[in-house]
Amino acid sequence: MIDIETFRAFALSLFILASSQLLQAQKTYTLHWNTDLALGALGLGTSATGWAFGKKVKPLQPAELALLNRNDVFVLDRKATYLLSDKADRASNVVFYAATLVPALLLADSKIRKESGVISVLYLETLTLNGGLTEMTKNLAKRPRPYTYNPDFPLKLKQRRDARKSFFSGHTSSTAASCFFAAKVWSDFHPGNKWKPAVWAAAASIPAVTGYFRIRAGRHFFTDVATGYAVGATVGWLVPYLHHAPHN
C-alpha cells in the first residue's frame, strides 16, 4: 500500500503543477509574510517535534498488552474495542486518498483557477500544519489503538509502533482539512451561490464517513475521530480565512 505521507506529497505536487501564474496579482486571497511565516514555522515545528518523539515511541510488549482491559476504556470509546473489519479499513483508505485530491477539483472553476498559485500555497500550509499537529499529538499521547484490546487481532500487529498512535485519527483530520479547505475556498469565490449549503454538507459528510470506517475497522476510538475531525476542519477553514484579501 502507498504510504499516506508519500501520497499526500504526490497529491500536493500534482495540485501545484496544475497551478499557473503564481506571482500574478491576487484578488480573493493574498499571501502575508507574517501569517505565512508563522503558519510555516508552526507546521514544520510540529512535524519535527512529532518526528523526534516518534523515534522514542516503543512498541507495546506482551506483558503490557496483557494488562489492557477494555472495561477501563471510556464508555463512549469502549465499543470500538469489539470491532474489527479489514473491509472498513480499506474503505477508509479509499476515502482518504480521494479526499486528499478534492481541492484539485477547484481548478475546474475558471474564477478560482486565476488564483490557483496562491491557493496551492495555502493548501500546502494546510496539509503541513494539520499533518504536523496530528503526528505530534499521536507521538506524545501514545494511546493504544482499540484493536490492542481485542483478542481476535494478531499479536504481532499489536506490537508495532503504530499500535500506539490512536489519538487522534490522522485519516479523519486529513480528510476534514482537505474537504473544509475546498469548501471554504469555493464559498469565498461564490458567496451567494445556491449550492453553498450542499457543498458544505458534502465537506462535512466525507470526513464523518471516514471516521465511521476508522471506528468500524477497530483502528480508532470515537474520541480519536471526533478530535481529528475538529482539528482538521479548523485548520482547513482557518488557513484560507487568514488570507482573505482586503477589499475597498
Mean local confidence (pLDDT), 135-161:
96
pLDDT band at 22 (very low <50, low <70, confident <90, very high): very low
Identify the pLDDT of residue 4: 61
- How many helices (H) and strands (E) in the chain? 11, 0
SS3 content of the chain, % helix, strand, coil (to 5): 70, 0, 25
Neighbours of 197 (CB within 10 A): 9
Identify the pLDDT of residue 245: 76
240 pLDDT above the threshold of 90: yes
pLDDT band at 23 (very low <50, low <70, confident <90, very high): very low
Identify the pLDDT of residue 27: 80
Q: Is residue 49 part of a domain?
A: no
Note down the domain range covering 87: 59-241
pLDDT band at 87 (very low <50, low <70, confident <90, very high): very high
13 pLDDT above the threshold of 90: no
Q: How many domains does the chain have?
A: 1
Identify the pLDDT of residue 149: 97
Mean local confidence (pLDDT), 67-92:
97
Residues 6+ apart with CB under 8 A from 47: 128, 131, 132, 135, 136
Q: Is residue 200 part of a domain?
A: yes
Q: Is residue 1 part of a domain?
A: no
Mean local confidence (pLDDT), 133-153:
97
Q: What are 134's strand-pairing partners?
A: none
CA distances from 136 to 47, 51, 165 (A): 6, 7, 10
pLDDT band at 14 (very low <50, low <70, confident <90, very high): low
Q: Is residue 101 part of a domain?
A: yes
Identify the pLDDT of residue 108: 93
Q: Is residue 3 part of a domain?
A: no
Identify the pLDDT of residue 32: 87
- 220, 3 in Cβ contact below 8 A? no
What are the cell numbers at 24? 500574478
Q: Is residue 151 part of a domain?
A: yes
Is the bond leading into 189 cis (omega within 30 degrees of zero)? no
- 210, 175 in Cβ contact below 8 A? yes
Identify the pLDDT of residue 244: 87
pLDDT band at 246 (very low <50, low <70, confident <90, very high): low
Identify the pLDDT of residue 141: 97
More confident residue, 19 or 77: 77
Q: Is residue 84 part of a domain?
A: yes
Angle, in degrees to the nearest 10, between helices 116-141 and 4-17 = 170
**DSSP category for residue 168:** S
Q: How far is Cα 154 from Cα 19, in angstroms, rounded to an integer?
A: 45
Q: How far is Cα 136 from Cα 51, in angstroms, rounded to an integer?
A: 7
Q: Is residue 228 part of a domain?
A: yes
Mean of per-residue pLDDT scores for the chain: 90
Identify the pLDDT of residue 15: 55
181 pLDDT above the threshold of 80: yes
